[in-house]
Amino acid sequence: MEVKVNKKSKSCTEDELLCLSKEELIDKIKQLEAHNTQLKSIVQKNLQSRDETANGKAKKKHRPFDFAKCFKRHILLRFYYLGWDYQGFAAQEDSIETIEHHMFAALKKVCLIESRETSNYNRCGRTDKGVSAFHQVISLDVRSKFAPELQLDANNLTNELDYCAMLNRVLPEEIRCLAWMPMVNPAYSARFDCRSRTYRYFFPRGDLNITAMEESARYLVGAHDFRNLCKMDVGNGVVSFVRSIDAISIKPSQRDSELDGSSYDMMYLELRGKAFLWHQVRCIMAVLLLVGQGREEPSVVKDLLDVEQNPCKPQYSMASDVPLNLYDCQFNEKSGESNGEETMGGESDLSDWIYKEEDLRRTISDLQGLWMKHSVKTTMVREMLKTLHSILEDRFAGAPPIRDQSALLTQGVRSKEYCPLLQRQRCESLENRIEHYAKKRRIEVSVKSNDCSASGSDEPAAEHVRAGTDRNSNVDHGVSGMDN
C-alpha cells in the first residue's frame, strides 16, 4: 500500500468548521485545549529562564560564527541517553524536553553546525517518551579543522576537533556522546544504512515462568504481520505492519540472592531486527508477561500473528516504557545496501569509531555518578523490603510470599477477574481505520492496476497509499518508533 498523508492546516475557515460534525468539533476543541495547556507550560518555563538570566550575570554579546570560513566533514556520532524524564527522542513543536532538542542546542552552542536544515542530518531511530538508548547514532556534517582532502589522514584524525568533549560539556548529564566515525561518503545515512537494531527490555523475574515466555517468544522470529502487537499509526500513513524479527531471547542481567530467592533477579528480553513498529516491543512484552504469569498459553502469540483468524487487535495495556533501551545498531558496509541498490565494489564506507581515553574516563565517571544516585535509592528500598519480608514471615507463618515485581510493569488497571486476550473486546480493523482517516482527509487512498490482464494473474488490483511525513518514515525505519 501507498499512503499520502494530508497535513492538517493550522486554522480552518468558517465554511470548513460548518461542515464538521458535532463529534469532530468536540475533538477539535479538545485538541486546542490540550495544545493551549502545553503552550502555557512552555511560556512559563521561558519566563522562568528569563528571570534567572536577568538575576544572574548579563550575557556577553558574541559575534556570529562565520561558517563560510570553515571546512566540513560527514560523520557518524554515537551517544547514549537515559530517556526516563524526556518526551522522546524526536524534536516536537510543543516541548523542549526531547533528546533531539538538547542535541541540536548543544551542536549549535559549540558551533559544530549552523542549523539542523543545513547539517545533512539523519537519525538511526526514534524512541518514544520514557525510552532510553545505549547506542543511538546520527549522521551529519560538522565543522572540521582540515580540508576535505586531508580529513582522513591518521594524524589529522588524532588532532581533529574533540567532538565528544565539546558536546558533553553542554549536554544534560543524562545525555553523553561516546565516539564519532569519519565518513568518506557524504550520502551515508544513519537511518537508511542501518541494517539492524537491537532492543533490550529489562524486567524482574518475580513469579514469571521464563520457560513459557521463551516458548512464546520463539513464534515471533521471522517475518510476520504485527498489527496485533503494536499501536497502529494509520493516521500518519502506516498501513503495512509486516516486519521481521531476526533474533529474540530472554537472558539474566543481574542476580540478587539476598531477597526472597530469585524473584528479585533482573532479566531482559532482547530483540533484533531491521525495523520496528510504533510501540511494538512494549506490546510484545505485555503479552509475554501475561504468558509468564500463567494467564495466557504460549501459543497466544501465534494466534495474534494470524491476522486472518484475528484481524482485529484485542484490547490490552502495554508494558511500561521505563525498561526499554535501544541497545545496539549495526550498519551496512556500503551506503545503499539496505535499499537493495547496487553498490560499487571497493573499500567499506565505514571506519573505526574514534574514542578518546580522557573523554571515555570522564563519561564513565559521570555515569557512575548517576548509578550512585539510583543505586542508593534502590539499596534503601531493598533494606526496607528485607525488614518487611522478615516481619511477614515472623508474624504470619505460612503466608505465601509476595512476588508482584513483574506484574507492576503492565500499565493500566488490573481487573479482579482476568479475561483471556482472544475473548476481549476488539479494536477497529485496519480497513476501518484506513476508511476513517480517508473520510477525515488525513490520508488519500488510491487504487493502481497491477496489469493483471497482461500477467494472467487473478489477484485484484492493489490499494496504494503514499506516505508523506517524517514521522511515518521514521516509524517504518526505526523505532520505535518504537518503540518503540
Q: Are strands 242-254 and 324-331 parallel, antiparallel or unpaired?
A: unpaired
165-219 residue pLDDT tens: 999 999 999 999 999 999 989 899 999 999 999 999 999 998 999 999 999 999 9
Three-state DSSP state, 330: strand
Same fold, 67-182 and 195-331+413-434: yes
Q: Could you tell me the pTM of the whole model?
A: 0.82
User: What is the identity of the amino acid at 177?
Assistant: C
Topology of domain 195-331+413-434, CATH? Alpha-Beta Plaits (3.30.70)
Q: What is the pLDDT of residue 469?
A: 38
Q: Are strands 324-331 and 132-144 parallel, antiparallel or unpaired?
A: parallel
- E runs forming strands in 167-264: 175-182, 194-204, 222-225, 242-254
In the block, cell 515462568 appears at: 209
Choose between 297 and 404: higher pLDDT.
297
CA distances from 66 to 111, 113, 198 (A): 9, 11, 40
Topology of domain 67-182, CATH? Alpha-Beta Plaits (3.30.70)
461-481 residue pLDDT tens: 333 454 433 333 333 333 444
406-438 residue pLDDT tens: 888 887 777 788 899 999 999 988 988 888 888
Choose between 154 and 61: higher pLDDT.
154
- Spatial distance between the Cα atoms of 183 and 259, rounded to a whole number of angstroms: 50
**Percent residues over pLDDT 90 in the chain:** 57
Q: What is the pLDDT of residue 39?
A: 79
In the predicted model, is pLDDT for residue 484 greater than 70? no
Q: What is the pLDDT of residue 391?
A: 92
Nearest to 287 by CA among 248, 239, 233: 248
In the predicted model, is pLDDT for residue 54 greater than 80? no
| Residue 281: how many other CB atoms lie within 10 Å | 32
In the predicted model, is pLDDT for residue 458 greater than 50? no
Q: What is the pLDDT of residue 25?
A: 84
Per domain, the residue ranges of the chain are 67-182, 195-331+413-434
Provide the mean pLDDT of the chain: 84
Average pLDDT rounded to a whole number, residues 10-37: 80
In the predicted model, is pLDDT for residue 43 greater than 80? no
DSSP run (H or E) holding 375: helix 357-395
Instruction: Find out whether 120 and 186 touch, Cβ atoms under 8 Å.
Output: yes
Nearest to 77 by CA among 110, 40, 44, 46: 110
Query: CB-side exposure of 6: number of CA atoms within 13 Å?
Result: 11
- Spatial distance between the Cα atoms of 410 and 289, rounded to a whole number of angstroms: 8
Instruction: Find out whether 250 and 266 touch, Cβ atoms under 8 Å.
Output: no
Average pLDDT rounded to a whole number, residues 151-178: 95
In the predicted model, is pLDDT for residue 364 greater than 60? yes
Point out the residues that are catalytic: 128
Nearest to 137 by CA among 96, 71, 197: 197
